[in-house]
Amino acid sequence: MSTYQNICDLCRQRGITVSRLEKELGLSNGYVGHLRDVKHSPSYSRIALIADYFGVGIKSILDDQASGVEVRRVPLLGSAACGKPIEAVENVLGWEDFAIPRGCRDDFFALKMQGDSMSPEGSIAIAAYRPYADDGDIVIAKIGGDECCCKRFHKYADGIILQSVNPAYPPMYFSAKQVEDMPVTIIGKVVEVRTRYAYS
């Protein structure tokens, strides 16, 4: 079945209208309807948002013929702090379906967010394994080799800043020497954050 039909069926099963789904997820009015047009390529981040809303995998929503994309199972490795760093945990707790461009060579992992400095607590961040970051990227960083956090990365000539979105949390500054000695290492770039929706 088509992506459009799969979403309509999920709405029908839940007892809600498509317009209510669009409103609750902050999608533009008529977004789902546009998916009837086979020329209209779906936004895979929006499809992931819809999948999370219904508590289903991306594969159950995407048209089997969706071109240019593949769905991978990404390991959920534990938690990352969005406030103060917490001890890094790397046990596989579950799996997340993640749509990526076909042929992408990156490896990905997922972490559950703790704290409210970056996103609602309990959200799932999916990151590409990467030992570097560009200024402004949201990253998963290890501090001292044991503590893990999710922050926005800023690079300066004399060091780095790991910044929360929530202004209640002060920025974490590390000199170039601290980055090397502690060390502070980037282990991944966040490419998607998924919020879990409760429903009645």
Same-domain check for residues 107 and 51: no
Question: What was the pLDDT predicted at 135?
Answer: 95
The number of folded domains in the chain is 2
Residue spans of the chain under pLDDT 70:
1, 38-42, 63-69, 80-91, 116-121, 196-200
The pLDDT assigned to 130 comes to: 92
pLDDT for residue 119: 61
Altogether, the residues listed in the chain come to a count of 200
pLDDT in tens, 51-104: 889 988 887 887 655 556 677 888 888 776 555 554 555 567 888 888 777 778
pLDDT, residue 81, reads: 59
Regarding whether 53 and 116 lie in a shared domain, the answer is: no
Q: Is residue 199 part of a domain?
A: no
- The sign of the CA dihedral 31, 32, 36, 42 is positive
Do 114 and 22 lie in one domain? The reply is no
CATH code for the domain in which residue 25 is found: 1.10.260.40
**pLDDT (0 to 100) of residue 86:** 47
Domain containing residue 123: CATH number: 2.10.109.10
Domain boundary among 45, 67, 89: 67
The domain boundary, picked from 40, 67, 94, lies at: 67
Q: Are residues 109 and 148 in the same domain?
A: yes
Query: How distant, in Å, are the alpha carbons of 9, 64, 163 from that of 58?
Result: 14, 11, 31
Same domain, 78 and 94: yes
| Domain contains 200 | no
Please give the DSSP secondary-structure letter assigned to residue 56. -
Does residue 42 contact residue 36 with C-beta atoms inside 8 Å? no
Contact predicate 184/176, CB 8 Å: no
Q: Domain of 165? A: 71-194
Indicate whether 80 and 61 sit together in one domain.
no
Say yes or no: 52 and 109 in one domain: no
Q: Are 7 and 62 members of one domain?
A: yes
Query: Measuring CA to CA, which residue among 154, 136, 156, 148 is closest to residue 184?
Result: 148
Residue 77: predicted pLDDT: 83
Q: Does residue 154 form part of some domain?
A: yes
Instruction: From 48, 67, 86, give the residue that closes a domain.
Output: 67
The pLDDT score that the predictor gives to residue 199 is: 45
In a shared domain, residues 149 and 171: yes
Q: Is 62 within the bounds of a domain?
A: yes
Residues that are catalytic: 117, 151
